[in-house]
Structure 1
């Protein structure tokens, strides 16, 4: 998310909050695709993380990008922290450890998504290379310690940094040392939203396994295929997880709101000032708990939207649905992740088939998948087979969904072309982390620094 919102429209009831989510409903023919990806900046010579300031820093890159693409600058306390394309809807932002994020514009098809990602990476290279900076696509910093990571000058991150150790042991690693690819998708109705949330939550561990790409920590294998996914299991149980209540009868906008308002808040923003309100739930805020503690203590739409952005379940609901299970990776996977989910969720027949695949999975089975996949990815046992077997079924469904969409590129290829990295991985039975470990034990001869050369954008 590039910037925190300001909307002073007051809110009073759960129904008011549910109505803000329902505003996201749109006709199927107007469904769009918004893809986000993060990447780590590093000094090309030293292979160290880049700071915020200085000649070789995040600030210099953002300033260079501002001149190159002419997007509007976003500031926090006078410091540039991002750029926004108010016409197209895209944005560039920085994560707590300097991870450089493109929040892509809402686009009609995956060919446009891939073109957008490629243009962004070309623009970033054009600015960064003269500064001696490269970018790495991977799920977690492979060599840097938490102490090595810089801190970005964003007020909300200061509040989160102070709060994270109180609610989990790995939250700071999530903030400072991980990166992701995610896709934001539309829904047509409350029932469509509920079905997509259920399918997305059930299959999120499968996507995690397919894209698992964080097997190294501080210069050596960490025993996991996706340590990023493992980090999420001990970040903050109040605001993360697989949301079992989404599978209960009657799940809809109000039920999501009822969960969200009982999650402790991080901050309330008034003007340009962020007020630390950690420990206070949104429900308590609605009941007057912040009277006398923040200016204008009546909750408003801006407060609600900001609160929604600080919830981190495996699938997140706003006026669209966010699929959040994948590790960061090389550029081809920036296109493959949205391709997987668009194929599964944007054709009604395929969506129904995906639900048939997962609807009899128990909560215990879903939890076991979520717990097992970070360590063993595609080899994780499931029922009479493995996650690899399920992943192949999921890929086939996604291929069918994209075939039915029939959105053609300039070269008359449909969107299935963007699933190629997944097809290759599942054919070999290897997730990206398996390939990294194979190289580490083989051609890299135990030198993880090679990842900066082989996997940089």
Structure 2
């Protein structure tokens, strides 16, 4: 049976107005901001020799029935016990994507259980999860090959080596927040961007790559920033703070060049420089469909990406259980409209300093001072999150350590 959604996804977009209407309908799903989600990535290493490459066969054997289809076409790709889904990035980085939860306490419990399950599966195969935002031991190399990944590599290679570093060596922590009620979206959108540079600095964990120091606090973000500004630069900026979020996102999407074109066979390379707006104007032999537009959106990687909810993509992977720290900070800062506005006011003076945050982290006095103020604000709000006492105390200690480091840098 063909459903209405099938028809919508296959609908031909014959003019830009139809693409605009579709993007405007899906980019922000408004409603009470009650849910939070998290996506965690890690590099994966041999437990005895972290420099040793880990191939797809070994990962497939370790993950078993939880292997994603890109790794094993016959796998049932079963969710983990608490609902997390396992996927792999092209360099073999492992990702757990959680279902959103109505409380951060519930999200932490479920995510910790899923991480423990994956850790056990890997341990049985002599593998361990990494602890930083970029592979400190190995040079970039492909582990999972698909037509999409080959097309990505070819497109990124035109801009230099950063694309391969990003694809094969980086690991991030993504926090997913509701967009909010219609009258809250603009403030939450702006604040999600504004707090990015100081929180990137506070939680930077990617200083070593392939056996050497990189000179960056977050070499992961450095790689992202160097790939292709048309698909990785922030959508929002302080200089255009009054822009409507929906209009800004639509302009970003339509102006971005195509990364790949799905077709039969292994060659998905897109003509260089052709944007989605060009495609709508007839630059390619066939017109695009709604499904093509949705797929194009999936190839855009700004620090904050609207997916109905807000996907905050700027944090490095964290060691051990420290992923909970930025999760709690962001949940606290976005607890209500008042905290959102206060966080925005604190962060705005450094909201444009993405490159400085990646390069210097808390060694930058302005970023350190702003990070300290944000962490202090978050800790004042933490009791409202109703975390279990032991979790609250442990996270507070971790944040105090980060706050102390930021304050020392500022002195």
TM-score (normalizing by structure 1): 0.78
CA distance in 2, matches of 1:252, 1:375: 28
Matches within 5 A, 1:258-297: 258-269=251-262, 275-279=268-272, 280-292=274-286, 297=287
Within a 5 Å distance, the mapping from 1:29-178 to structure 2 comes to 31-54=34-57, 57-65=58-66, 74-75=69-70, 79=73, 83=77, 85=79, 90-146=84-140, 149-178=141-170
Unaligned runs of 5+ in 2: none
Matched, 1:210 2:205: no
- Equivalent of residue 23 in structure 2, options 17, 20, 30: 17
**Aligned match of 1:379 in 363, 374, 393?**
363
Residues 250-288 of structure 1 show CA distances to partners (whole Å, capped at 9, x for unaligned) of: 422122111211101223446898743253211122223
Conserved? CA contact 1:37–1:182, under 8 Å: yes
Per the alignment, in what secondary structure is the counterpart of residue 27 of structure 2?
Answer: helix
> C-alpha distance in 2, partners of 1:51/1:87?
25
DSSP-derived class of the 1:142 partner: coil
Q: Structure 1 residues 278, 90: closer, same or farther in 2, change over 3 A?
A: farther
Matches within 5 A, 1:387-402: 387-402=367-382
Q: Secondary structure at the match of 1:74?
A: coil
| 1:419 CA drift (Å) | 4.7
Shift of 1:38: 0.6
Task: Indicate yes or no: 2:289 matched with 1:299.
Answer: yes
Q: Could you tell me whether the CA contact under 8 Å between 1:110 and 1:415 is conserved in 2? A: no
Structure 1 Cα separation of the partners of residues 280 and 171 of structure 2:
33
Return the match for 1:229 from 196, 201, 221: 221
Aligned length: 397
In the other structure, the counterpart of 2:249 is 256
Residue-by-residue CA offset, 1:296-319 (whole Å, 9 max, x unaligned): x4321x322222221111211121
Does the 8 Å CA contact 1:144/1:217 hold for their aligned counterparts? yes
| Residue of structure 2 in register with 1:452 after alignment | none
RMSD, aligned CA: 3.0
Secondary structure in structure 2 of the residue aligned to 1:134: strand
CA distance in 1, matches of 2:83, 2:156: 31
Any idea what the Cα deviations from partners look like across 1:365-407, whole Å, max 9, x if unmatched?
Answer: 544x22222232112032xxxx22211210122223433xx34
Question: What is the deviation of 1:172?
Answer: 1.1
CA distance in 2, matches of 1:267, 1:51: 27
1:141-164: per-residue Cα shift (whole Å, max 9, x none)?
Answer: 112112xx3320332111111111
In structure 2, the residue matched to 1:199 is 191
- Counterpart selection for 2:399 from 399, 406, 422: 422
- Length-normalised TM-score, structure 2: 0.86
- Which one of 27, 31, 35 corresponds to residue 26 of structure 1? 31
Following superposition, the deviation at residue 233 of structure 1 comes to 2.4
- Is the alpha carbon distance of 1:107 and 1:101 closer, same or farther for their aligned partners in structure 2, counting shifts above 3 Å? same
In structure 2, C-alpha distance between the alignment counterparts of 1:112 and 1:315, rounded to whole Å: 24
Q: Take 1:82 and 1:19, find their aligned partners in 2: how far apart are those partners? A: 32
C-alpha displacement at 1:349, in angstroms? 1.2
CA deviation profile, 1:44-98 (whole Å, cap 9, x unmatched): 22323543433xx2222232536xxxxxx5347x646993649986421101100
Shift of 1:17: 1.7
Unaligned runs of 5+ in 1: 67-72, 435-457
The CA distance in 1 between the partners of 2:119 and 2:393, in whole Å, is: 28
Report the secondary structure of 2:69's partner residue: strand
User: Given the alignment, which residue of 187, 207, 221 partners 2:179?
Assistant: 187
> What is the CA deviation profile of residues 309-332 of structure 1, one whole-angstrom value per residue up to 9, with x for unaligned ones?
211112111211111121112232
- Do the aligned partners of 1:50 and 1:58 also contact (CA within 8 Å) in 2? no
